[in-house]
Amino acid sequence: MKQKISVIIFIMLLMILGACSPSEDNIPTETPTEVEPTPSEPDITIELTEITISGLEEAIIGFDEPFNIFTGVIALGNDGIDYTDLITLTTVAPIDDQGNLDTTQIGRYAVRYNLNVSDIRLQRLRYITVLAPVRPEGMLINGDFEQGVLFWNNAANGYFVANGAALTLSIDNGALKAESIAGTDAWTPRFGQQNIPFEMGKTYQITFEAKSSVEKTIHLQVGELLSGAPWFINFKSGQDEYRTITTEWETYSYTFTMNLDNPRGGILFELGNINPEGQLDATIWFDNIRIDEVEND
Q: What is the pLDDT of residues 52-61, one digit of tens each?
A: 999 999 999 9
Query: How does the average pLDDT of the chain come out, rounded?
Result: 89
Same domain, residue pair 232 and 119? no
Burial environment of residue 149 by CB neighbours within 10 A (0 to 12, 13 to 18, 19 or more): buried
Full domain range(s) for residue 91: 51-130
| CATH number of 112's domain | 2.60.40.10
Is there a domain that residue 4 lies in? no
- Among the ranges given (13-22, 132-141, 173-182), the one the predictor scored with the smallest mean pLDDT: 13-22
Continuous segment of H or E residues that includes residue 5: helix 2-20
Is there a domain that residue 40 lies in? no
- Comparing C-alpha atoms, which of 224, 171, 162 is closest to residue 193? 224
Same domain, residue pair 281 and 226? yes
Q: How confident is the model at residue 80 (pLDDT cuts 50, 70, 90)?
A: very high
Query: Strand 203-212 to strand 266-270: parallel, antiparallel, or no bridges (unpaired)?
Result: unpaired
Q: How confident is the model at residue 105 (pLDDT cuts 50, 70, 90)?
A: confident
Q: How confident is the model at residue 208 (pLDDT cuts 50, 70, 90)?
A: very high
| CATH number of 193's domain | 2.60.120.260
Torsion over CA: 233, 234, 238, 241 (sign):
negative
Does 22 or 129 have the greater pLDDT score?
129
Q: How confident is the model at residue 77 (pLDDT cuts 50, 70, 90)?
A: very high
Task: Report the C-alpha gap between 60 and 128 in whole angstroms.
Answer: 6
Q: How confident is the model at residue 36 (pLDDT cuts 50, 70, 90)?
A: low
Task: Report the C-alpha gap between 169 and 153 in whole angstroms.
Answer: 7
β-partners of residue 54 are 74
Q: How many domains does the chain have?
A: 2
Task: Report the C-alpha gap between 52 and 55 in whole angstroms.
Answer: 10
Cα 149 from chain centroid? 16
Is there a domain that residue 33 lies in? no
Does 42 or 188 have the greater pLDDT score?
188
Task: Report the C-alpha gap between 163 and 154 in whole angstroms.
Answer: 18
Q: Looking at residues 246-269, what average pLDDT do you find?
A: 97
Is there a domain that residue 195 lies in? yes
Same domain, residue pair 159 and 271? yes
Same domain, residue pair 92 and 168? no
Letter string b/e over residues 155-179, b meaning 16 or more CB atoms within 10 A of that residue's CB: eebbbbbeeebebebeeeeebbbbb
- Among the ranges given (21-25, 214-218, 250-254, 267-271), the one the predictor scored with the smallest mean pLDDT: 21-25
Q: Which of 95, 130, 165 is the last residue of a domain?
A: 130
Task: Report the C-alpha gap between 81 and 52 in whole angstroms.
Answer: 11
